[in-house]
């Protein structure tokens, strides 16, 4: 006993954290951070990482490693990180890539049976429609006001343009693909068809905020104009036009919402409006042309809507008469982070996934939540629509990719194959037809998985079968319109009977709309057709192009696989 006592008297042990130097230099998210500005590196792995599937073998063409920028000089280097520090670390989502090509041949095939007839967002609101000054000339787009190169903003640290960028732009294949990618506090503009594709055309360095997401407006792109919006970890949004190096700030200093922007997308078909999701569970529609203003919630002007019916708080409706300033509309879904969202091909619906594990289907034109589904467990991270709009695919923290039927409003199958969280899902429209679908998924397990499913196959385990007629009903929308406040006007784009709708008016959550979790035993399970570890760090983005599959990873590897010959019609 005396010995013990002696031990007890001993002074406390030496400092508890022994931190290797290697770690000390690490950024908050575990990436090695260089001290000086470095260049992108491209490698061509020999025979590396073939993806073998039925149609042939996808060969890894190259692996472009984006240079992680050094910390901004104003940031104190982290010498001895306290692993228990309670200071929240900045959110990160890894490298995301936005691709744009002017070549119409590279457009993905569409499977919609009819032309998109969705009305523009906010149609019928005179206040909103008014300001649209006629674009004089299609090629003469309005540009943002400020020159980013000469910017004196403390938000932008500096801009590095390639010495020969002007020449490169002139000489390039006009139908080539541009890529925009964020890494850490840098935002790079790359020309993927260039022979020196690893050399950026422009690199914008921000001071503190990191860009987390970005999107290019498909309807305004020309050879001399690209509208890009990007959302940052500070909540600020940048509208950037790379050709002229002009930019504008929206939600400056988080005046409208100071929570990080988790995803951003131009409204389909709109030249000015884009939708941003914030980490505090808010979806905001902004107009790139409008000024910010302090945001005051506008109490619901829609008495006919029962707010408790489904969790959507309309803090500002698109129908508000007050449309001189941003935001155009602002909806609060929950207090949980909105992880991702995706617009349906028919441009009427929106699928939103949240950290609380819910998948919410919205008719965003009417500002309504239609259905809520739940993950098997854990948060949902990513979502996308099949090219024909019939299916929605999500990925989440249950390591599952889940297929949902939009017309039937139910789960179709759970896809098991990832060894960690699923960070991105995407359909391959070039491998889809009316009956079979190809999609891919990537995850924190560094894997790329490809999946095939066909209607017949999926439904084998379960009794119900969808009918084509039903599908159509979701896609063909009879002249919907305007006074879309009225549910009665909602036309045939919903499957539910009117009785269901009326039911929605009273009481709490619509039992029809909030779907329970299906037990494992009753749900079809789909295996992948291909699973491959593609790198050594978590993969966070996946894109399908006509001639290739691309992925990007947390540390900045952008990998490109060429499709097997003739695999795409």
Nearer to another protein (CB atom), residue 245 or residue 280: 280
Nearer Cβ to another protein (248/256): 256
Interaction between residue 299 and another protein (CB under 8 A): no
What does the block give as tokens for 148?
């980013």
Q: What are phi and psi of 498, to 5 degrees?
A: -65, -30
Cβ closest to another protein, residue 282 vs residue 413: 282
Closer Cβ to another protein, 217 or 259, answer by number: 259
Neighbours of 218 (CB within 10 A): 12
Q: Within 276-295, which residues bind another protein (CB under 8 A)?
A: 278-282, 294-295
Interaction residues for another protein, span 376-435 (CB under 8 A): 376-379, 397-399, 416, 418-421
Q: Which residue, chain included where needed, has tokens 């109490």?
A: 299
Q: Which helix (H) or strand (E) holds 122?
A: none
Binding of another protein by 16 (CB under 8 A): yes
* Cα 107 to Cα 110: distance, rounded to the nearest angstrom: 9
Sheet with 97-101, side-by-side order of all strands: 97-101, 177-183, 186-191, 202-206, 156-161
154 counts as binding another protein under rule CB under 8 A: no
Helix (H, G, I), strand (E, B) or coil at 199: coil
What residues numbered 66-105 form the site for another protein, per CB under 8 A? 78, 81-86, 88-89
Give me the sign of the Cα torsion angle 258, 261, 266, 268: negative
How many residues make up the chain in this entry? 569
Give me the 468-507 binding string for another protein, x by CB under 8 A, dash otherwise.
Answer: ----------------------------------------
* Residue 21 found at the interface with another protein (CB under 8 A): no
Tell me which residues in 357-376 interact with another protein (CB under 8 A): 357, 374, 376
- Can residue 258 be called a binding residue for another protein (CB under 8 A)? yes
Min separation Cβ 373 and another protein, Å: 12
Q: Restricting to residues 502-531, which ones interact with another protein according to CB under 8 A?
A: 516-517, 519-521
Which residue's CB is nearer to another protein, number 413 or number 432? 413
Nearer to another protein, 270 or 553 (CB): 553
Q: Is 126 in the site for another protein (CB under 8 A)?
A: no
Within 318-357, the residues that bind another protein by CB under 8 A are 330, 332, 334-337, 356-357
List C-alpha distances in Å: 323 to 117, 130, 254, 262, 285.
25, 10, 19, 24, 11
Give every CB contact of residue 320 below 8 A, 6+ residues apart in sequence.
Answer: 125, 127, 298, 301, 329
Q: What is the dihedral of CA 479, 482, 484, 490, to 10 degrees?
A: -10
Residue 1 Cβ, how far from another protein at the closest point, in Å? 8
Considering only the stretches 93-101, 165-173, 254-262, 269-277, report the one whose residues sit in contact with another protein under the rule CB under 8 A.
254-262
Residues 124, 482 contacting (CB under 8 angstroms): yes
């Amino acid at each position: 006993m005396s010995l013990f006592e002696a031990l007890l008297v001993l002074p406390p042990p030496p400092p508890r954290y022994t931190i290797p130097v290697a770690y000390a230099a690490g950024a908050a998210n575990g990436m090695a951070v260089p001290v000086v500005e470095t260049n992108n590196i491209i490698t061509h792995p020999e025979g590396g990482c073939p993806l073998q599937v039925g149609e042939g073998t996808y060969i890894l063409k190259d692996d472009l490693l984006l240079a992680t920028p050094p910390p901004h000089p104003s940031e104190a280097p982290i010498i001895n990180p306290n692993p228990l520090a309670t200071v929240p670390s900045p959110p990160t989502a890894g490298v995301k890539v936005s691709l744009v090509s002017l070549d119409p041949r590279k457009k993905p095939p569409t499977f919609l049976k009819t032309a998109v007839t969705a009305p523009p967002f906010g149609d019928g609101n005179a206040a909103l429609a008014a300001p649209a000054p006629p674009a004089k000339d299609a090629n003469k787009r309005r540009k943002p006001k400020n020159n980013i190169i000469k910017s004196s903003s403390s938000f932008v640290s500096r801009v590095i343009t390639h010495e020969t960028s002007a020449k490169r732009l002139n000489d390039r294949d006009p139908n080539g693909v541009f890529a925009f990618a964020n890494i850490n506090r840098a935002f790079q503009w790359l020309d993927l068809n260039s022979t020196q594709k690893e050399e950026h055309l422009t690199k914008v360095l921000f001071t503190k905020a990191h860009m987390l997401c970005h999107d290019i407006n498909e309807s305004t792109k020309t050879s001399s104009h690209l509208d890009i919006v990007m959302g940052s970890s500070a909540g600020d949004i940048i509208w950037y036009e790379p050709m002229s190096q002009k930019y504008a700030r929206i939600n400056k200093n988080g005046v409208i919402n100071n929570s990080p922007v988790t995803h951003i997308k131009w409204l389909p078909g709109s030249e000015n409006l884009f939708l941003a999701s914030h980490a505090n569970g808010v979806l905001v529609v902004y107009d790139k042309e409008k000024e910010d203003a302090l945001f005051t919630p506008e109490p619901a002007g829609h008495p006919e809507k029962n707010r408790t019916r489904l969790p959507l708080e309309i803090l500002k409706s698109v129908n508000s008469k007050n449309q001189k300033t941003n935001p155009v509309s602002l909806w609060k879904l929950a207090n949980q982070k909105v992880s991702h969202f995706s617009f349906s091909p028919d441009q009427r619906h929106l699928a939103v996934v949240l950290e609380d594990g819910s998948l919410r289907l919205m008719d965003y034109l009417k500002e309504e939540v239609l259905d809520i589904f739940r993950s098997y467990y854990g948060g949902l991270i990513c979502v996308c629509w099949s090219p024909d709009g019939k299916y929605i695919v999500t990925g989440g923290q249950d390591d599952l990719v889940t297929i949902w039927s939009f017309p039937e409003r139910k789960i179709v199958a759970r896809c098991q194959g990832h060894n960690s969280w699923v960070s991105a899902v995407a359909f391959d429209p070039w491998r889809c037809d009316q009956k079979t679908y190809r999609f891919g998924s990537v995850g924190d397990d560094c894997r790329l998985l490809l999946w095939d499913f066909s209607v017949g196959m999926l439904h084998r385990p379960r009794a119900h079968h969808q009918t084509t007629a039903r599908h159509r009903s979701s896609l063909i929308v009879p002249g919907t319109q305007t006074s879309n406040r009225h549910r009665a006007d909602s036309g045939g784009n919903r499957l539910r009977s009117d009785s269901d709708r009326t039911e929605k008016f009273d009481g709490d959550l619509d039992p029809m709309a909030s779907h329970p979790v299906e037990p494992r035993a009753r749900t079809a399970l789909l295996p992948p057709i291909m699973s491959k570890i593609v790198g050594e760090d978590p993969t966070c983005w996946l894109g399908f192009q006509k001639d290739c599959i691309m992925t990007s990873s947390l540390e900045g590897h952008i990998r490109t696989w060429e499709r097997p010959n003739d695999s795409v019609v």
